[in-house]
Structure 1
């Protein structure tokens, strides 16, 4: 059998293996609107709906679980989940996770501040003495993580972080631009909290699968189908619905004594 035919056959068997065994692909993710979230018991979001469409085209049934991010990572480590949605690439997890060549979306990390307590900044030095709200399970750059200039204070949810900022319990919080803007509307805090103009880092979000038998072929097939779908009008309509068009230009922060990144990955199992 020609090599190409053998590869195509292997890909087909990998994609059919779950349905053949009566199994579903077990995926975990944290609510991260507008990329993935639940509303009235229905799963929604740009990356969720994109992933669901791609797997439907591949003939793969998926079982979803929405959990706090640290729980998602623990389930991956324990083999209780086959993959995670909206995970950043991390060399620390390259030995256990497979990433397709095509990302699902791009995010921009920024700071949010209370309107009556603004804290303009351009470098890490400008954050001296402040308390920054973070998210458990997110891996920040070594400079940000190890700095003694400021305090990092995690909150159990993104909503809790914004509540703490509004009540003055933290000075700033760090999160994705679109996630933060969505929460300002959801929590009705737009008149109290604003987004700092500096972009701290850019990151690509992926669907990643555990390195199990046949998963490498499934990841390749997923990436190829995702790339095709993103060229279709249906994807453009989906992106427009979730406001995932180009975001306004903003300066990229260049912290002193750092590599230019304040937040890097979302994959740490520790705050």
Structure 2
């Protein structure tokens, strides 16, 4: 049997095995609007809807769970989930997770400050003596995590971080630009909080799965189908709906990202 036929047979067996056992692919993620979130009992978001379309084309049913990110990571480690949506690539997790070659989206991490206590800055050195709001379960770069210049203080949710910012319990908070802008409107605090324009880092987000039998082929097929979908008008329309633009040159974007210091990785990334 030709090699390509063997590969396709294994992939088909993998997909059919879920159906034969009456099981679904178990994917966990944290609400991370506008990429993935729930509203009135309905799952939405650019990356969620993109992933759902790709899996539908592959003939794979998915069971979704929305949980705090730290819990998502625990479920992956314990084998209670098959994969995670909107996870950043981490060399430490290559031994247990498989990533497709095509990312779902790219995030830009920035900081926000309360207008009553402005803290504009250009570099991490400018944060000396400040307290920065972070998120538990997120993987940050060594430069950010190990800096003795400022204090890092986690909050259980992104909403809680903004609440702490307004109450003066933290000086700044770090999150994705689109996520932060979405929350400014959702929490009705746009006139109270400002985004610092400096982009701390850019990072690709992926759908990653645990290293199990046949999953490597599933990841390859997912990546190929995702790449095809992102070239279609339907993806452009989906991106426009969530206020994003389809990437015109993924390789160029990755080159730019590689030249910058990574400050936050949602292991996230969510991110």
Q: What is the TM-score when the length of structure 2 is the normalising length?
A: 0.92
Partner in structure 1 of residue 253 of structure 2: none
- Secondary structure of residue in 1 paired with 2:200: strand
User: Which residue is equivalent to 1:241?
Assistant: 241
Moved beyond 6 Å, runs of 4+: none
Partner of residue 75, structure 1: 75
1: CA distance between counterparts of 2:3 and 2:260?
45
Task: Summarize the Cα distance change of 1:268–1:238 in structure 2 as closer, same or farther, 3 Å threshold.
Answer: closer
Q: Which residue of structure 1 aligns with residue 191 of structure 2?
A: 191
SS at match of 1:34: coil
CA distance in 1, matches of 2:268, 2:53: 28
Residue deviations 1:62-117, cap 9 Å, x none? Answer: 00000000000000000000000000000000000000000000100000011121
Contact 2:236–2:246 (Cα < 8 Å) also in 1 = no
Provide the residue aligned with 1:115 in structure 2: 115
Matching residue of 1:32: 32
The runs of 5 or more residues in structure 1 that have no matched partner are 248-258
> For residue 166 of structure 1, what is the aligned residue in structure 2?
166
Report the Cα distance in structure 2 between the residues aligned to 1:124 and 1:234, rounded to whole angstroms.
40
Aligned residue pair count: 258
Task: Quote the offset at 1:16 in angstroms.
Answer: 2.1
- Larger deviation, residues 8-17 vs 24-33: 8-17
1:137 aligned to 2:130? Answer: no
Q: Does 1:175 align with 2:178?
A: no
Match of 2:266 in 1: 266
1:220-239 pair list within 5 angstroms:
220-239=220-239
Alpha-carbon distance in structure 2 between the residues aligned to 1:121 and 1:140: 19
Indicate the residue corresponding to 1:87 in structure 2: 87
CA contact (8 A) 2:87 2:268 kept: no
Contact 2:109/2:264, CA 8 A, preserved across alignment = no
Task: Return the offset for 1:39.
Answer: 0.4
Q: List alignment gaps of at least 5 residues for structure 2.
A: 248-258
2:14 corresponds to 1:11: no
